[in-house]
Amino acid sequence: MIGVTENLALIRNLLTFSAVEADREPQSVRLLAVSKKQPLSKILDAANAGQGDFGENFVKEGLEKIDQTRDLDLTWHFIGHLQNNKTRMVAENFDWVHTIDTLKTAQRLNKQRPESLVPLNICLQVNVDNEDRKSGIGIAELGELAAACTELPNLNLRGLMCLPAVRTDFSEQRIPFATLRELASELRSDGIDTDTLSMGMSGDYRAAILEGATMVRIGTALFGSRN
């Protein structure tokens, strides 16, 4: 049976091929290993093979894993929907939050981030397909939220994130990722500089990389089926 180490090597090669196809440097694409509902042993296997970024969707589970790996140099990303009653735990323990879509959430994280820690890296989640049942700030409201977040000293606005509707056609997969890239460009034109596009997963990472993804979220393809 192929293990985490072998899967990691394969995924890294695939990301490299896609980056080269996009005429980009392979190191410009960062792998975010989605470790939700995966055992600690698999996380350690990936860490021992050089993987440094891990993403968790649930606060309690994420905190347990962070506590168990404090002696390792790992970067922890919160990538799930963040409830306001759990912002303090995230602000005190995680390095990144990818799912900011309201100013209230950002303000709570800013207030609760300990002064002893570096500013919390954040991405604004954009509802690029305007789906009724999906989280994310609307495109029209993005600029105002981004500008407000740059005024929060304990947060570091790094970029944008999206979770588009599922598409199977490759050319159609590129559309929402191109939208996110263009939105980031518009922010830069308004003086809001960012360096991160968190987009793409196992089924659409190639389309995302061709449209400028700097961080790709991959889980079961790396770790296998979840518990």
Is 224 a member of any domain? Answer: no
Alpha-carbon torsion (103, 104, 106, 110), positive or negative: positive
The answer, yes or no, to whether residue 225 has pLDDT greater than 90, is no
Residue 203 neighbours by CB under 8 Å, 6+ apart? 166
What domain count does the chain have? 1
Q: Provide the whole-model pTM.
A: 0.96
- Report the distance separating Cα 82 and Cα 73, nearest Å: 24
Is 225 a member of any domain? Answer: no
Q: Which residue has the tokens 């790992």?
A: 74
Among 209, 222, 178, which residue's Cα sits nearest to residue 53?
222
Q: Give the model's pLDDT for residue 1.
A: 54
Helical ranges in 49-169 per DSSP H: 59-68, 87-93, 103-112, 142-149
| Tokens linked to 36 | 């939700």
The answer, yes or no, to whether residue 13 has pLDDT greater than 90, is yes
199 dihedral zone (left: phi>0; alpha: psi -120 to 50; beta)? beta
Is 77 a member of any domain? Answer: yes
Q: Give the model's pLDDT for residue 227.
A: 72
Is 183 a member of any domain? Answer: yes
* CATH code, domain with 103: 3.20.20.10
Q: Please give the average per-residue pLDDT across 74-87, as a whole number.
A: 96
Is 197 a member of any domain? Answer: yes
pLDDT digits (tens, 9 = 90+) for 124-167: 999 999 998 889 999 999 999 999 999 999 999 999 999 999 99
Q: Give the model's pLDDT for residue 214.
A: 98
Range of the domain at 124: 4-218
Is 20 a member of any domain? Answer: yes
Q: Please give the average per-residue pLDDT across 71-94, as a whole number.
A: 97
Cα of 209 vs its chain's centroid, Å: 14
